[in-house]
Amino acid sequence: MLRTEEFTLNMGPQHPATHGVLRLILHLDGETIVKVEPVVGYLHRGIEKLAEARTYTQVIPYTDRLDYLAAMLNNLGYVQAVEKLMGIEIPERAEYIRIIVSEMSRIASHCIAVGTYALDLGGFTGFMYPFREREKLMDMFEMISGSRMTHSYMRIGGVAADLPEEFYPAIKKFLKEFPSCVDEYDGLITGNEIFQARTKGVGVLSQEKAVQYSISGPTLRGSGVNYDLRKARPYGIYDRFDFEVPVGEKGDCFDRYYCRIQEMRQSHRIIEQALEQLEELPGGPVMAKVPKVLKPPKGEVYHEIEGAKGILGYYVVSDGTTKPYRVHIRRPSFINLDLLDEMCRGWKIADVVAILGSIDIVLGEVDC
């Protein structure tokens, strides 16, 4: 008797398109997906537990290693959470510097998202172009903090150091060039007929589902929900800048991708404004007066910011000692990964790669 059988394919943890060490167990009917089971934990380092044995300042380098593609944003979330707990007001100059570096980080992260997405769909050149811009950003991060990826630049009460002199011409040059670079991505990737055929209508995530599962970031906005913490509940000094929140319509892979492209343009606008306002400020300290040994009062705090992948939240519990009693991190990549199975069912193997790429996860954050 002829019969057909379901076929199980183990995709990952070593696979070119799972963006790290994600393992997907695919149940296939021919090439069609019946079910996807994501298996996480291959990059688990126990950061939350490690934080309990470190002082508040010593936790900062660990946050770099969560979403290592947007390390500044992770720093920002943590230090703002602790500042909220301790009630520290930070100097205005530091606020501006924080905005500039975190938006740069967002652009760098989206550059990777866009580039690797092109690579996932088989377009190698689309991968190289965004990396070119990211490289410039990395150079600037190196000027600021001395390291390219894991910056640990922010401190509880401000930032580690003022921006160096050579940073200003570099960022101005970058700001001048960047819009035309995004146009280039549009020409090379967005406008491509095959790219659109591969992404439009694929992996649709409905507005209700996205909200129900507390999806956030460009993945949520691609589904047409206008929710960006920078606008909805401005933290830091985001209320001083004029920018828009790009929103998709259908919630397919293309909308999620295109949201990121547009967000890069918006981040560019924010940096431009912040830099202008920063240069008008008189020079001053970049650190608030905080004690050498940090002892936050007993209590707990939850603070969330708009990370590159979605809403990044830090829950910090203090028992009044120098070390946090508990640190829990709401990692957007982990939560966004929830719906992968539902989005993939009925599509082909190639679409799993397309859908996973459009969610834009980073495994350092998923596994924590």
Partner 1 sequence: MENIFVNISGSIRELIGVLGLPPLFNEAVMITVKVTGILLFIVLNALWLVYMERKVAGYIQCRYGPNRVGPKGLLQTAADISKLISKEIIIPSGADKILFLLAPVLIFTPPLMVFMVVPFGQNMAAVDLNIGVFYFLAVASLSTVIFWIAGWASNNKYSLLGGMRVVAQMISYELPMVLAVLGVVMITGTLNMSDIVRAQENLWFIFAQPVAFLIYFIAGVAECNRVPFDLTEGESEIVAGPFTEYSGMGFALFFLAEYTNVMLVSFMAATLFLGGWLAPFGLTIIPGWAWMLIKVYIMIFLFMWLRWTYPRVRVDQLMGFGWKVLVPLSLANIFITGVAIKVLDKMGW
Nearer to partner 1, 161 or 188 (CB): 188
Q: Minimum CB separation from partner 1 for residue 174, in Å?
A: 16
Nearer to partner 1, 78 or 195 (CB): 195
**Token digits of residue 368:** 């924590």
Distance from the first to the final alpha carbon of the chain = 49
Is 22 near partner 1 (CB under 8 A)? no
Is 195 near partner 1 (CB under 8 A)? yes
User: What track of x and - describes contact with partner 1 for positions 94 through 123 (by CB under 8 A)?
Assistant: ------------------------xxxxxx
Beta bridge partners of 300: 317
For partner 1, which residue of 111, 308, 353, 359 counts as binding (CB under 8 A)?
A: 353
User: What track of x and - describes contact with partner 1 for positions 159 through 188 (by CB under 8 A)?
Assistant: -----------------------------x
Beta bridge partners of 154: 159
Helix (H) or strand (E) holding 218: helix 218-222
Is 348 near partner 1 (CB under 8 A)? yes
Question: Which residue, chain included where needed, has tokens 């193997």?
Answer: 349
Burial (CB count <10 Å: 0-12, 13-18, 19+), residue 83? buried
**Rounded Cα distance, 67 and 61, in Å:** 12
Count of residues that bind partner 1 according to CB under 8 A? 31
Q: Which of 288, 281, 289, 290 has the alpha carbon at shortest distance from 93?
A: 281
Q: Which of 337, 367, 338 has the alpha carbon at shortest distance from 68?
A: 367
Is 7 near partner 1 (CB under 8 A)? yes
**Rounded Cα distance, 368 and 365, in Å:** 5
Q: Minimum CB separation from partner 1 for residue 197, in Å?
A: 6
Q: Minimum CB separation from partner 1 for residue 217, in Å?
A: 23
Question: Which residue, chain included where needed, has tokens 């936790």?
Answer: 59
Is 194 near partner 1 (CB under 8 A)? yes
For partner 1, which residue of 39, 128, 232, 281 counts as binding (CB under 8 A)?
A: 128
For 29, the 3-state DSSP assignment is strand
- Inter-residue contact 70 to 164 (CB < 8 Å): no
Q: Minimum CB separation from partner 1 for residue 87, in Å?
A: 49
Is 350 near partner 1 (CB under 8 A)? yes
Q: Which residues bind partner 1 (CB under 8 A)?
A: 7, 9-10, 15-17, 31, 118-126, 128-129, 132, 188-189, 192, 194-195, 197-198, 348-351, 353
